[in-house]
Amino acid sequence: MPASLTFATAALIVLPLLAILILNIVNKQAGQKIALNVALVVTVIQMIAVLICGSLLVTGGKGSIDFSVFWDMNANLSASFFTVDFFSLVVLFSIGMVAFISAMVAKRGVNGKELNFTNLLMVILLGMNGIAMVGDFFSLYVFLEITGICSFVMIALYHSKEGLEGAFKYLLMSCVATAFLLISMAFLFMQVGSLRFTDLTIALSGWATGEGDLFVTIAFICFIAGIAIKTGLMPFHSWLPDAYQSAPAAVSVLLGGIVSKVCGVYIIIRVLSSFFENIPEVGIAVGLLAIISICFGAIAAAAQNDFKRILAYSSISQIGYIALGIAAGGPIGFIGAMLHFFNHATFKTTLFVDSAILEESVGSTDIEQMGGLEKQLPVANVTTILSLLSTSGIPPLAGFWSKALIIIAVWQAGFHFTAFLAILASVFTLVYFLRLQRKVFFGPAEEHLAEVKESRGTLAFSAIALSVVTIGVGVLFPLILRFLQAQGLL
């Protein structure tokens, strides 16, 4: 393997660990000053490393790369190792991008907690990177727990009543999900004797033809339930709105932008495509959860008056679209899900940044207390419009293309009514986001907001940069489509 590729892949695991070591070797005062800058450097290097890996995959004509960091996987063939392919690289880039934006938002929102926040951010970055690259079920579980534990600590970062309540709900539901996942792993290990994805793929191939037994069915049900809780799919969503609303702004960006997707829907994609592929029962079960989440999330979001809670329920709906693409199956469904994963990370992170701008400028995220802020908050106004249009699937923005691919895949799979519901929910998404836009930025100006001025600096930069990505991916999508076709992915 080329030295550049070795460095790029190892950096995804080593750099967060190195950052934690550096920040905790220096004295606390120095650590507080440099913490967020260290986080920014690490996340930028991660994005660069992912681009290097992607270019080397393309030039080398490889579909995936296996590697290890602290051990020689060739000396022990049973040892665990990491794997990167085009899909995991999309996820890893999304992780780096959202973590970078979270650190930027933290520069204005975690005063006095910079070191604690950055330490947790580096650990959660390590956990999510591990989830995106592991090749066996047990390692997946370990990195998932690392990410989950850090998430509930970050929600309660300021020890506020709301934060502690949100963190407790997250922890409680996470424990239930952990129990389901452990049961699933136990049954799979009893049946197969291994938890590596490659071994499970071979061993469970008979299950697709009806030769499987009850234990595998139980393992599958427990797995879906556990991951549905982690990702907040309906009806396992109860923790998600409270966690998003009560968390500090920088943490909400991280949770809403990437954590719930990596800890949930990405795992569904990776595991189901690895060893539950082409099994009709799997597609039906995931598709049912997906369409319920899409419709429920959209309806529930319309009834909310808090900016963050609207985004939380909207996330339930949009994650449902990703799951629906996987349920539909086929290359179009998979590519649609992969692209919507990235698009959702981009436009939903933008909206959480805009909520941070509102929280800092107005002092609240209650949309009933706002109005007429269009001229006073021009950056938040424009970037919110772009993001809500992308979320609703309006061309030529990025969200339109990924949703279109997903709906095409669902239609081709023969689920015409489901495709119709997905389109209807997308229209309803536009309705409740227009309500949000009208309540916050349009309409008559509120007298008590006459002196409100927009936050500049890192918050405005983050919202603008993400909006540029949303527009760029949408406009350049034909080129992206050609690239995917050239790589044999579509």
Helix (H) / strand (E) containing 69: none
- Split at pLDDT 50, 70, 90, the class of 55 is confident
Q: Who's near 144: CB < 8 A, 6+ residues apart?
A: 127, 131, 181, 230, 263, 267
Q: Who's near 16: CB < 8 A, 6+ residues apart?
A: 42, 122, 123, 125, 126, 129
Neighbours of 93 (CB within 10 A): 21
At 84, phi and psi to the nearest 5?
-125, 140
| Higher pLDDT among residues 5 and 43, named by residue | 43
- What's the pTM value of the predicted model, to 2 decimals? 0.88
The alpha carbon of 161 is separated from its chain's Cα centroid by a whole number of angstroms, namely: 26
At 85, phi and psi to the nearest 5?
-140, -175
Taking alpha carbons only, the member of 421, 410, 305 closest to residue 367 is: 305
User: What is the average per-residue pLDDT within 103-111?
Assistant: 81
At 136, phi and psi to the nearest 5?
-145, 155
For residue 454, give Cα distances in angstroms to 72, 188, 376, 381, 448: 53, 54, 6, 10, 15
User: What is the average per-residue pLDDT within 159-181?
Assistant: 79
Is pLDDT above 70 for 377?
yes
User: What is the average per-residue pLDDT within 108-135?
Assistant: 85
User: What is the average per-residue pLDDT within 366-385?
Assistant: 82
pLDDT of residue 97: 92
Q: For 234-266, what is each residue's pLDDT tens digit?
A: 666 666 676 777 777 888 888 888 888 888 778
Please give the structure tokens belonging to residue 212.
Answer: 């499987």
Please give the structure tokens belonging to residue 31.
Answer: 């650590």
Is pLDDT above 80 for 7?
no
Cα–Cα distance for residue pair 368/57, rounded to 1 Å: 50
| Higher pLDDT among residues 424 and 447, named by residue | 424
Q: For 73-95, what is each residue's pLDDT tens digit?
A: 555 555 556 777 788 888 899 99
pLDDT of residue 236: 67
pLDDT of residue 69: 60
Q: For 291-332, what is each residue's pLDDT tens digit?
A: 888 888 888 888 888 888 888 888 888 888 888 888 887 788
Residue 196 DSSP SS3 = strand
| Higher pLDDT among residues 211 and 43, named by residue | 43
pLDDT of residue 43: 92
Helix, strand, coil content of the chain in percent (nearest 5): 75, 5, 20
- Split at pLDDT 50, 70, 90, the class of 100 is very high
pLDDT of residue 4: 57
pLDDT of residue 44: 92
Please give the structure tokens belonging to residue 324.
Answer: 């629906």
User: What is the average per-residue pLDDT within 442-465?
Assistant: 76
Is pLDDT above 60 for 366?
yes
Q: For 381-431, what is each residue's pLDDT tens digit?
A: 888 889 888 888 888 888 888 899 999 988 988 888 888 988 888 888 888
For residues 293 and 323, the answer to whether their CB atoms sit within 8 Å is yes
Long-range contacts of 432-438 (CB under 8 A, 24+ apart): 432/298, 432/301, 432/302, 432/310, 432/314, 433/314, 433/388, 433/391, 433/392, 434/388, 435/302, 436/307, 436/310, 436/367, 436/384, 436/388, 437/384, 437/385, 437/388
Please give the structure tokens belonging to residue 470.
Answer: 């949303």
Residue 84 DSSP SS3 = strand
pLDDT of residue 325: 86
Q: For 466-475, what is each residue's pLDDT tens digit?
A: 999 999 988 8
Is pLDDT above 70 for 208?
no
Chain mean pLDDT for the chain: 80
Q: For 263-289, what is each residue's pLDDT tens digit?
A: 877 887 777 766 666 566 677 777 888
For residues 254 and 98, the answer to whether their CB atoms sit within 8 Å is yes
pLDDT of residue 82: 74
pLDDT of residue 76: 55
End-to-end CA distance of the chain: 27
User: What is the average per-residue pLDDT within 329-343?
Assistant: 85
**Sign of torsion, CA 283 285 289 291?**
positive
pLDDT above 70 covers a percentage of the chain that reads: 85
Neighbours of 408 (CB within 10 A): 17
pLDDT of residue 468: 92
User: What is the average per-residue pLDDT within 133-151?
Assistant: 84
Q: Who's near 279: CB < 8 A, 6+ residues apart?
A: 207, 208
Beta bridge partners of 84: 65
